[in-house]
Amino acid sequence: MTNPASNPVSPLPLNTVFELGTEITEEQQAFLSEHGFLHFRGVANQSEVDAIISEVDRIQEEWLQEERKEVFGIPLFKGHENGKKERIQRMPFTSCFSSVIKDFVRHERFEPVRKLVGDDARVGDQEKDGVVVNTYVNVPGSVYPRLGWHTDGLRDLAYLKMPAQMLNVGLHLTDCPKENGGLRLIPGTHNQGFFSMCFRKAYFISHRPDPKEVCVETRAGDLTVHDGRLWHRVERSPHVGDKSLRRSMYVPYLTDEFHPKGDASKTPFYHYLGMAGRAFSNWKTRRKAGK
């Protein structure tokens, strides 16, 4: 990857939306290096978005019928709508169960993004958590109405070292203007020091808006790339029910040693903490509802 220190300062405003061409331009590289994110308009068309959503719905129904609790060792985040209908709100490894999704994330249009990660970068279909689909919805029983402030460098921080650059590549499957919640970033915090990355916010607990945050307002088919070292969160929608639904698909581009997962893979320890937190949240919701 390009050294951020070697890039010029970007004169563009923070709400700049780019077009994804055959390569990442110097202007786009400068913006990413300075602010830590890029927003590309209309990378997928509506028919492609509809096809992906259809596949996600199909996979969800299959997993619910099978009463799956995990895939390749990674727990499924299951929420309820008003204590009744189940919805899987975080679905890992989706491209392993859909040729449509697997072919789409390998389309040649994404070559500039892959090369931005590294010339030898690959799509990690069966590594880490695979191609993940997140569903945020604001209803009683949802495990994902919002997501608190965090960076993606916790593992490196645990070993008292600064996290290396990591890029999160997300395709947005629903429209998400500012008034419907959505992704919030604090630009430039990918270049922060160790203390700030550890203690600037209370990880996942803090949801308070930051005066320096920006909202990335996306449409269905848009692509965002953001440095995982940025402080970021997902704001709750003020709407309730289907109007609050937001979906996004994150594609892992990996350059490290190949470590595939399968049915015999063990659940990483940190996921047990997450499961405990979601169980507690569901218990509070049921208690409030008098169930």
Rounded to the nearest angstrom, the gap between the alpha carbon of residue 259 and the centroid of all alpha carbons in its chain is 21
Decide if 180 is inside a domain: yes
Decide if 177 is inside a domain: yes
CATH number, position 44: 2.60.120.620
Tens-place pLDDT, residues 91-104: 999 999 999 999 99
Measured CA to CA, the distance from residue 17 to residue 38 in angstroms comes to: 8
Q: What domain count does the chain have?
A: 1
pTM assigned to the model: 0.88
Tens-place pLDDT, residues 214-261: 999 999 999 999 998 899 999 999 999 989 999 999 999 998 889 899
Range of the domain at 114: 36-254+268-288
For residues 56 and 49, is the Cβ–Cβ distance under 8 A? Answer: no
Decide if 8 is inside a domain: no
Measured CA to CA, the distance from residue 246 to residue 168 in angstroms comes to: 17
Decide if 10 is inside a domain: no
How many CB atoms within 10 Å of residue 246?
23
Decide if 20 is inside a domain: no
3-class secondary structure, 190: helix
Decide if 276 is inside a domain: yes
**7: confidence class by pLDDT, cuts 50, 70, 90:** low
Q: What is the pLDDT of residue 165?
A: 72
Token representation of residue 55? 């596949």
Task: Name the nearest CA neighbour of 226 among 271, 276, 184.
Answer: 184
Decide if 15 is inside a domain: no
Type of residue numbered 267: T
Tens-place pLDDT, residues 148-198: 999 887 666 655 667 777 889 999 999 999 999 999 999 999 998 888 888
- In terms of phi and psi (left: phi > 0; alpha: psi -120 to 50; beta: otherwise), the region of 167 is beta
